[in-house]
Structure 1
Amino acid sequence: MTALEKELAIQDKKFAATIERIRNRNFSRNLPFLILSNNLPEGQGYYEYADGHIEIQEVYTIGADIETRFIRTLSETEAIVVRNDFKLKNGLQ
């Protein structure tokens, strides 16, 4: 492994640790964790909650205010797929 490859591996681990800390912090504060995906239309995202459920919500602006609109709650199977895909793509356990 080259020095560059080692450095990239270290950076990947730091990135994964940071994402995991943010996710856990949000859950501990009873806040959702936003998962962005190219599988959703622009302006929509997955909102994962500490209890394991995931919602699709749309974010939009009204003047200077940012609002969200609930689209739907994913089934348990869909939530598992989204969560596992996110974790795999971001190097999380």
Structure 2
Amino acid sequence: MEFKLKASAILEKEFKTGLRGYNQEEVDIFLDDIIQDYEAYEKKVAQLQLENKQLKEELAEAPKRTQAAPQVGATNFDILKRLSHLEKHVFGSKLYE
């Protein structure tokens, strides 16, 4: 993506004056506002491009993180806890007396 105009090109632009031309001061004030907008726009685009790059890197690394070793201890504990509840339900409290 290339910009047609840069802030410096707007700043350096000179207009020819005619017999009934525009008020040069008004044009300069308007061009100053345009320059400020272009500079803010260029900064925002650069910021978003950087953020986009970082998010793409995070997205590329996400599968690596999810393929890490599962929490075996937590899984085993959960299974044992469920088994204990099942035993209590099936055999009742007589099993634990």
TM-score (ref. length: structure 1): 0.25
Q: Which has the higher contact order (CA 8 A, sep 6+)?
A: 2
**Higher strand fraction: Structure 1 or Structure 2?**
1
Structure ID, larger Rg: 2
TM-score (ref. length: structure 2): 0.25
